[in-house]
Structure 1
Amino acid sequence: MGAAPTRPLDPAHHFSFDSRRLRPSRRSARPGPVVKVKVAPWGRSLSGRGLAGSLFAAPAHERLDAAHALHAEGLAVHVDLIVRQDGTHRGVTPAQVRAVRSELPHASIDLHLIVEGDPRDSHTHAAIEEAIHMGLDLGVERISLSRELLDCYHSALQDARQRGLAVWCELPHDAPADPVAGADGLLIMLIRPGTTEAADPAGLTTVRALAGRVPVGVDGGVTETLARECADLGASPIISGRALLTTS
């Protein structure tokens, strides 16, 4: 299903949401899907402790199977929406997110919006607006984004918060360990967003400093060892991709 037409968004002004838009069709789940993507055994031991699998780590044609595999293990589904300057997506696409929700109506899903271009450009405006509307309409757990986007789209995001969508701020692990106004939680990035670098364990210092003061999660290159350490610190969500999902 394609995106429903939306009116242009001025990030500096208030706007309202129409909950009827982008309503997913509730197809019945596929009978006995053959899942090619598997969850690493260690992931099962962290079920119920905030672990989420990143669909971006799975090949595009296997992302729906990856979501099925995660949900079957009681794990959450994390979606990286990576928007280029021209408004197109190089990460998980909105259509893929809608397909996941359609087939898994009870899955826990969260969105991470990463904008590579100017967030005020008309093309990126449309993609950001779609992400916010989609988060509301599909009932995702939260949407995480940079401080720049949080500031630029403050009014729109506060509207979304009032409608029940949790808004989190993405925070580099070496940034000051302070709560961010207008954010419900902080997602500590152990790598640069949208990359496949190795995680910097020094980021756990920031997690320790914030734990208990504000909801805090971790993302980026999370291995089994890091995931267990983060779980012990009380971080949630704990987002892992390459170390958690394997293909066969």
Structure 2
Amino acid sequence: MIALAPWHHDFPGLLAGSVYSATDSRVAAALTLADTGLDVHVDVMAVSEGLPAGVSLAELQMISTSVDRQKIGVHLIGSADFVDAVLPKILALHPGAVFLPWQAFTSERAHAIRAAGGSAWIAVWREWDGLADPQWPAEPDGVLVMLIEPGTKDRCGLERLSLVTACTTRSELPVAVDGGVTEEIAPLCAAAGVQQIVVGRALLT
């Protein structure tokens, strides 16, 4: 049985649940999130590059047949080669959003995502410090600020919220955050002006 932490009611329209954290029941977690009106966030990782095993393509396919696809966001974590290998399979499922690593974000890949009916978001880790206007490798539809290193389970770096503030100040793009967010940290993210807060372990119980 998948249950959501009660505090999710405090952030209507802001939260997305990361099913990566529901190791044994990711499809059930996605259904619970969708039934509650929350978006479903899916981490697909490059195991061959030393990253943990994320949500499998088989799991994503099952989620896509059970949940409104426009409510699904897929974050690809790995190299540009990994992105090229899996992106066509992801786009065949027509998710609402695809988050690409900075080094893999190109106009060609972004166009492919949009052509499949999704929005193309860029994930930011240490590629931009927020001190000057961002020089995107190609124009994104939104920005995912990682509060922890992608592919890890580190503690949330609250200093990263300054990057959110910089992004909302220096661009008009919607901003989301992901990584180690808890009930105590979520209000800080909301106050920083994000459009979406991705939460995993602290939300799915």
Quick check: 1:93 aligned with 2:46?
Answer: no
- State the one-letter code of the partner of 2:2: V
Consecutive unaligned residues of structure 1, counting only runs of 5 or more, are: 1-35
Matching residue of 1:37 = 2
Match of 1:202, SS state, is: helix
Shift of 1:174: 7.8
Matching residue of 1:27 = none
Kept in 2: contact 1:174–1:203 (CA 8 A): no
Quick check: 1:55 aligned with 2:24?
Answer: no
Counterparts of 2:95 and 2:69, CA distance in 1: 10
Q: Note the 1:138-149 alignment, pairs <5 A.
A: 138-149=93-104
Match of 1:182, SS state, is: coil
Matching residue of 1:157 = 110
Matching residue of 1:21 = none
Kept in 2: contact 1:81–1:89 (CA 8 A): no
Kept in 1: contact 2:46–2:53 (CA 8 A): yes
- State the one-letter code of the partner of 1:188: V
Matching residue of 2:164 = 207
Match of 1:139, SS state, is: coil
Instruction: Tell me which of 70, 87, 91 is aligned to 1:131.
Output: 87
Distance change >3 Å, CA 92–CA 58, structure 1 → 2:
same
Counterparts of 1:216 and 1:195, CA distance in 2: 21
TM-score, normalization by structure 1: 0.72
Give aligned-pair identity as a percent.
33
- State the one-letter code of the partner of 1:66: A
Q: What whole-Å deviation, never above 9, does each CA across 1:178-214 have from its counterpart, x for those lacking one?
A: 2623222111111010111100111111111112522
TM-score, normalization by structure 2: 0.86
Shift of 1:145: 1.6
- State the one-letter code of the partner of 1:39: L
Matching residue of 1:229 = 188
Match of 2:29, SS state, is: helix
Distance change >3 Å, CA 63–CA 242, structure 1 → 2:
same
Consecutive unaligned residues of structure 2, counting only runs of 5 or more, are: none
Please say which structure displays the higher CA radius of gyration.
1
Aligned length: 199
Between structures 1 and 2, the one with greater helix share: 2
- State the one-letter code of the partner of 1:146: P
- State the one-letter code of the partner of 1:38: A
Q: What whole-Å deviation, never above 9, does each CA across 1:86-144 have from its counterpart, x for those lacking one?
A: 799810011111101212236611000001xx533xxx36xx34334423x33322111
Quick check: 1:119 aligned with 2:80?
Answer: yes
Kept in 2: contact 1:109–1:141 (CA 8 A): yes
Matching residue of 2:65 = 102
Match of 2:150, SS state, is: coil
Counterparts of 1:88 and 1:209, CA distance in 2: 29
Matching residue of 1:239 = 198
Distance change >3 Å, CA 192–CA 40, structure 1 → 2:
same
Counterparts of 2:68 and 2:156, CA distance in 1: 32
The alignment's C-alpha RMSD in Å is 2.4
Match of 1:38, SS state, is: coil
Quick check: 1:167 aligned with 2:120?
Answer: yes
Kept in 2: contact 1:37–1:69 (CA 8 A): yes
Distance change >3 Å, CA 75–CA 85, structure 1 → 2:
same
